[in-house]
Structures are given as structure tokens and as C-alpha cells.
Structure 1
Amino acid sequence: MTENKELLEQVRTALGKIPDPETGRGLSKQILSVVESGDTIEIKIGLTSFAAAIRDEFKAKVESELANQFSDSTFNVQIDDFVRPPQPLGTVGLKCKAVIAIAAGKGGVGKSTAATSLTIALKRAGSSVGLLDADVYGPSIPQLTGIRGRCAAGQGEKIEPMDFNGIPLMSIGYMIPPGEAVIWRGPMLHSAVTTFVRNTDWGELDYLIIDMPPGTGDIALSLSQLLPLTGSVIVCTPQEVALIDAVKAVGMFRKVKIPVIGLIENMSSFICPDCSKSYDIFGKGGAKEYAQQDGIPFLGEIPLNISLRQRGDAGKMVDNFDDETVGPYLERIAKSLVTTLAENAAANPTTPQLPVIG
């Protein structure tokens, strides 16, 4: 096996056209090695855990480009881990690459289920993810994850988050006694959200998923003042009355300058557990049609499924991914989100600020 420096430069030039999913910059500096082994050229390319959910799609894209550029050669592409530390965000210094707010125009549409499922899917793919329950009046994350108890003091003034299979969790449910109602006005809400973001020991994250309160309250405004949100994802159900509220949520985020980067349709259809037939109880496709009309990426559907609901009630959301009926829907949403973020990064490449560690 020999390294061919001339071929290395040719490959770097060819793959410089492909944007890194995280930064949007060309891949030339992420080509770790180009080695000839007999009739095969072996290439190692670095990819950060930020893009773990679309690792296979990224590899296929690289292979396709190489085939186009070097039609007489056979390539074996290997994707290796590539470390790029996150930059501190906003006034709170959160070390995170993307902050995603999961929101809904009204309650009862499955927003928290979508937020928890997306978090688990990203973690399973290999990304570093945290989950913040910002729904102060109706925290659902402790129930959905099955993680109970009270948060403990961490290093210095930091709060140690709860651990959910390697996912740091924070919720008002971990700060007050079970069953106690939160009766707060706006300034107290702002203070609580600030504490959750600034004083929680989140570590270094690829993603922080924030489960927002339903409706168009002032939590979104508080978050927009604390740190630059990457964007919001709106969850709604297919029927017209839910879409009306989803439109209001989209308008609210746009007013506070938070991009709407996706829409998820929950309860899109009922999948019968006995015959596997699909029934459109609440209608179908309304959210997708609205997303297309308004230029919002449609991230996917979550079916209305008895087992999915039961696992949420039992705090066993992780088990949904072993269910061949609902698991693929949840994984596709995570892939769609990361694909959308990669497309946005390609359209607006970032300027490197720290040395890259390979």
C-alpha cells in the first residue's frame, strides 16, 4: 500500500465541491488519506458526529462524485470520526452546534413525543444530544423518558442534568416536587429558562433539542435573546383546525427572527396493530401540503399507533426504534432534519474559527 500525493491532491480538488454537512465548506481538508492498494484506491474521509444521521447518504454522495471524476479507478471509501469542537453560543456560552426548538401552535398534538423521539434518533445515530424541557407549565419529558428524581448540584454553580442513556436532560420536573403546579408570570419564566440553558452542565453537544411550551407565548422570545437558535420545528396534526394553529406558530417564530426549518405531521394515520392497514382518522397530508406552499421543509410523519402511545406512557420511548412499524418513521425524521441543516450550511458556509482536530 502506497500513498500517492499527486492523486491525493486530485481527490481533494474533486471532493472540494462536496460541502461538509456541518460547516458547508468543501471537504478538501477532511480527506485524511489516499492510498493505492493494488487496483483499488482507499480513501479515508473525516465526518463529525453532527452528521452521523446521514453518514450513509454522505458516503454514497462521495462515492458518486469519485465515480464521475475518476471513471477508470475503483475506490474504497471509509468514513472516519472527525472532531470539531462546538463554539460557545450567545450570552450563556452554551457549547453546542445546533439548537433546535420543537414547537406547536396548540397542545395535544404530540410535540413532546416528537421532541423526545428526535433526540433519541439523533443519539442512536451517533450524535451528542441534550434535551431541554422548556414546557414549564406542563413538563412531559420525565414521563416520556422514564427518568425521575431531582437534579443535583454539579461543578461550581452548575446543575447536573439527569442522564437518559447518555442524553443529558433538564426539566422543571426535576426541580420541583412531583405534582406541584408552576404558577409563574413572564419574568419568572424567563429566569427559569435562562437557568436551564446557562447553569446546566450540558457538556459539548452537537444538538440541544428544546421541547417548547404549546402556543405562541414568550418563552420563544426569551430563548431568542439568550442564544442564536438554529431554527424551529413545528409539530401539528393533519386536520384543518390544527393547521390553523401551526400557521400561527410559524408566524410567531418568524417575528422573533428564528428560522422555521421543518414541519412534522403527527398522528398522520392510524396503523391497525391486527391487520397493519392504515386509516386516516384525522385526514392526511394537510401538513405536507402547507409546508410545500409556505416553503418549509417537510421532515416526515409519525403514525397514530397504540404501541407508540403505550411506550410513551411507560417511559420506554427508546423501544419504539425496535418496532418495525414506527421506528423507520422516527429515523427518517432525524435524517430529514440533518439533511435540511446540511443544505442550509451549504448555502451559507461558516468561517472556521478554531483549528480542526483530525
Structure 2
Amino acid sequence: MGLFGKKRNANDERTAEIQRAVEAIHDPNNDQTLAESGAVEHVECADTSCQVDIVLDYPPGDWEAELTSRVREAVAGVDASLAPAVTVAFVAPEGSALHGKPLPGVKNIIAVASGKGGVGKSSTSINLALALAADGAKVGLLDADIYGPSQPRMLGSSEKPRQVDEKSMAPVEAHGLQTMSIGYLVDEESAMVWRGPMVTSALMQLLNDTRWDGLDYLIVDMPPGTGDVQLTLAQKVPVAGSVIVTTPQEIATLDARKAITMFNKVNVPILGVIENMATHVCSNCGHVEAIFGEGGGESIASQYDTDLLGRLPLDLRIREDLDAGTPTVAKDPSGALAGTYRQAARRLAAGLGRAVRSEQQAGPEIVIEE
């Protein structure tokens, strides 16, 4: 073997060792190694150079910088003389395609639901959508509450949707999100005195007649309960996954369990639970108190073998920001509250990526009938 052949073999062995070291890095967002998530796209090292390409199936946000640092540390652990070039890219999975015919312009539909009202589902939906967008995803928000649409007021938008053609309309842009709500089409004080079939028909029109443009995620803010709208969305729309919002007290977690049971019955993956109003911090003295109890979200997540994506505080600023039409993540993107939403959103997106990979690896179920 010539000199060049020996160098090539040595480089190949070093590259393989570096790849194993990089693949062993643990990702806290999906609780997997990079090998388990298949995130290491390419590793190539020559005599004095090294290239490592990582492709994540969720938007990394500020985790990208830390991940890059960890990759460089892993490479240095094998060969300290190398200064690797590291790229981290995001490519959203296409989860909705696994659950039926995908909605044009949308890769993943995520339903944010609760078993009862008053748990902060709409505020959570908006801020999760904004958090995903802040981390680098293209995001839409659909207000599926026909009787009580609240998203236009919370987003500070009164714009009417622009008609694209006879059958479709453009989503309303608000804080970088593509949004749609029946609230854009009717007077804010008008009561929607409609029976169930009219409500479900209106929802399907809003969903299908909106010209969504290249969305990685469409967050659907569901109305409370487990009725017509929830069943219509779960059965007729390719929902990639669902998130359950609850408050810690027993009466709320009891209804949240019903929502989980409904999604399980219609084979919609549960991506996790978000516990809202988990703690209250006194604005005067800073005392932290769990006024609605403790452990409700964690108990549900454990019972149904899913993730507790985050625990959000009961904070006056969240309500004030929404009343003013400037949601917290948009108003103060670098603040502590926004950071809590972004961490929960990142875990949500990473959980969706993990669920999609699991479904793809499982393959279709084959049933033989005699």
C-alpha cells in the first residue's frame, strides 16, 4: 500500500471515530442521542480539516450555538488539532402526510386542546406559535373556536382576509404568523348562533379555503371540550399530533384526561402536556406559590406515557400583553417568560419529529382477513 493509501485509511478511521463521538451527543430537546435521531447528516475529515453537518427535524433556536459547541468538543476529544466547520440545519418533518391527505401548504397540523375552558389554551397556542417562529420555523395559527374567537383581539389584528380567488383567501399576517379566524370575518360583538353542523362546516372552510403558504407547522387553537369541532378536526383533518393544556387542580386534569382519551380513540398522537398557571410569583415580594396545586400536569404525562413539555406561570404580564394585542413572546422575545414558552415549543417540535420518525420506522400495519 502506498503512502496516499495509508493516509486515506488513517483519515477514514479518524472520521469514523469522530462520527461516533458526534453521534453520542445527547439532545435534551428530544431526549435522544444524535445517532438515535439520525441527525448527523455528514462527517468528513481530511489531514487538517473537518466538516460536520447536522440536520434537525425541529427548529433549534439558541440551542444551535450550544450544539455547535458540543460538536466541536466531541471532535477535539478525538483530535485536538482539528477546528471543525459545523453546520446545523432545520428541515421540518411531514407528519400530516402520515395521517391522510396533507393540507396544501402545511407540513404539520398540531392541535392545542383542553378538556375545559379557562385553562389558558388560547394564550398558550399563540405564544407557542410565536416561539416556534422565533426559533426559525414558518408557522400558522388557526382559531378553531367558532363560538368564541379570541385570536384577532389577542394578536391585535382587525384586518380582513384578502380574497385570492373565488374559492380561497389569504391568511392574515400578524406578528410574523399566518393566521385565520372567524373573528376576522364577523363583527367582534356578534354572537354565532349556529348549530353543530354549521359550526363544523365553517371550521372546514376556514381550514381548507385559506391559502396557507409553506408552513412547517399550523397550530390549531381548539375550543374546549370533546364535541363536534374536536371530532371533525380529528377525523377529517390529517392532524400530526396534539398538545393538551391543563392547570394543576384536579378538576382541570380530570377534563384533560378526557381530551387525551378522545385523541387516542381517533389515533392522533399526544405530543405532550403543558401545565399552565403552575405557579404564581408575587409582584411585591417575589414569593412563589402554587395556588392551584402541584403535580397535575406531571401526573397526566406519567399516566399516559407522554412528555410534560413545560410549566407556565400565572403572570399578570401574559394577560396584559394579550389584551394589548402584543403577545408576550412577540413583545419581550428575550425575557424569561418568552424563554419558558420557547423551551416548551422546542420540546413540542422535537417530540413531533420523534413521533414521525417512530411512525415511519414502524411502517404500515398489514391486516390479513380470511
Instruction: Normalising by structure 2, report the TM-score.
Output: 0.80
Local SS of the residue matching 1:159: coil
CA apart distance, 1:72 = 5.4
1:79 aligns with 2:91: no
CA distance in 1, matches of 2:93, 2:196: 34
1:355 alignment partner in structure 2: none
SS in 1 for 2:258: helix
Q: Which moved more, 1:44-53 or 1:81-90?
A: 81-90
Q: Which one of 250, 261, 266 corresponds to residue 251 of structure 1?
A: 261
Shift of the 26–294 alpha-carbon distance from structure 1 to 2, 3 Å rule, reads: closer
Name the CA distance, whole Å, in 2 between partners of 1:96 and 1:73.
45
How far apart are the structure 2 equivalents of 1:277 and 1:342? 38
CA deviation string 1:278-301 (max 9, x = no partner): 111111222112212321210011
Partner of 2:53: 45
1:340 to 336, 341, 351: 351
From the superposition, tell whether residues 212 and 88 of structure 1 become closer, same or farther in structure 2 (CA, over 3 Å): closer
One-letter code aligned to 2:60: A
Distance 1:205 1:240, change over 3 A: same
Distance in 1 (alpha carbons) for counterparts of 2:238 and 2:188: 32
Match of 1:330 in 2: 341
Shift of 1:316: 1.1
Q: 1:356 maps to which residue? A: none
Q: Deviations over 1:282-325 (max 9, x none)?
A: 1122211221232121001110111111111111112143433x
Alpha-carbon distance between aligned partners in 2 of 1:148 and 1:114, rounded to the nearest angstrom: 21
Shift of 1:83: 6.0
Gaps of 5+ in 2: 1-7, 363-370
For residues 130 and 12 of structure 2, the distance between their equivalents in structure 1, rounded to whole angstroms, comes to: 43
Q: Would you tell me which structure has more strand in proportion to its own residues? A: 1
CA distance in 2, matches of 1:243, 1:329: 21
Q: Distance in 1 between matches of 2:267 and 2:353?
A: 20
Query: d(CA) in 2 for partners of 1:147 and 1:342?
Result: 32
Q: Distance in 1 between matches of 2:73 and 2:226?
A: 44
CA distance in 2, matches of 1:77, 1:289: 43
Alignment of 1:66-105 (within 5 A): 66=75, 70=78, 74-81=82-89, 89=97, 90-91=100-101, 93-105=103-115
- For 1:222 and 1:65, locate their aligned partners in 2 and report how far apart those are by CA, in whole Å: 48
Quick check: 1:321 aligned with 2:333? yes
Question: What root-mean-square deviation, in Å, do the aligned CA atoms of Structure 1 and Structure 2 show?
Answer: 3.3
Corresponding residue SS for 1:96: coil
Give yes or no for contact 2:248–2:294 (8 Å, CA) kept in 1.
Answer: yes
* Residue in structure 2 matched with residue 110 of structure 1 by the alignment: 120
The CA deviation at 1:128 is: 0.5
- Aligned position for 1:205: 215
Task: Give the SS at the match of 1:152.
Answer: coil
Compared CA separation, residues 189 and 60, structure 1 to 2 (3 A) = farther
Task: Compute the displacement of 1:156 (Å).
Answer: 5.4
Are the structure 2 counterparts of residues 66 and 330 from structure 1 closer, same or farther at C-alpha, using a change threshold of 3 Å? same
How far apart, in 1, do the equivalents of 2:93 and 2:279 lie?
A: 41
Deviation at 1:25, TM superposition (A): 6.7
> How far apart are the structure 2 equivalents of 1:349 and 1:301?
30
1:197-346 map, 5 Å: 197-317=207-327, 318-324=330-336, 326-346=337-357
CA contact (8 A) 1:150 1:174 kept: yes
| 1:125 corresponds to 2:135 | yes
Give deviations 1:247-296, integer Å, cap 9, x for gaps.
Answer: 11111111121111110111111112233221111112221122123212
1:55 match: 64
Q: Provide the secondary structure at the position in 2 that maps to 1:267.
A: coil
- The answer to whether the 8 A contact 2:58-2:92 is kept is no
For the pair 1:172 / 2:187, whether they are aligned, the reply is: no
The separation in 2 between residues aligned to 1:213 and 1:165, in whole angstroms, is: 22
Instruction: Note closer, same or farther for the CA distance 1:256–1:74 as it changes in structure 2 (3 Å cut).
Output: same
Q: Which secondary structure does the structure 1 equivalent of 2:251 belong to? A: helix
Stretches of structure 1 that go unaligned for 5 or more consecutive residues are: 352-358
Shift in Å, 1:127: 0.5
What's the offset of the Cα at 1:222?
Answer: 1.4
- Cα distance between partner residues in 2 of 1:127 and 1:329: 17
Question: What's the offset of the Cα at 1:154?
Answer: 1.6
Structure 1: distance between partners of 2:26 and 2:357? 6
Q: Do the aligned residues in 1 keep the contact of 2:103 with 2:238 (CA within 8 Å)?
A: no
Q: Distance in 2 between matches of 1:92 and 1:101?
A: 15
The verdict on how the C-alpha distance between 1:64 and 1:347 changes in structure 2, with shifts beyond 3 A counting, is: farther
From the superposition, tell whether residues 85 and 337 of structure 1 become closer, same or farther in structure 2 (CA, over 3 Å).
Answer: closer
Q: CA deviation at 1:347?
A: 3.2
In 1, are the aligned partners of 2:141 and 2:179 still within 8 Å (CA)? yes
Give the superposition deviation at 1:104. Answer: 0.7
C-alpha deviation, 1:71, in angstroms: 5.1
One-letter code of the match for 1:26?
G
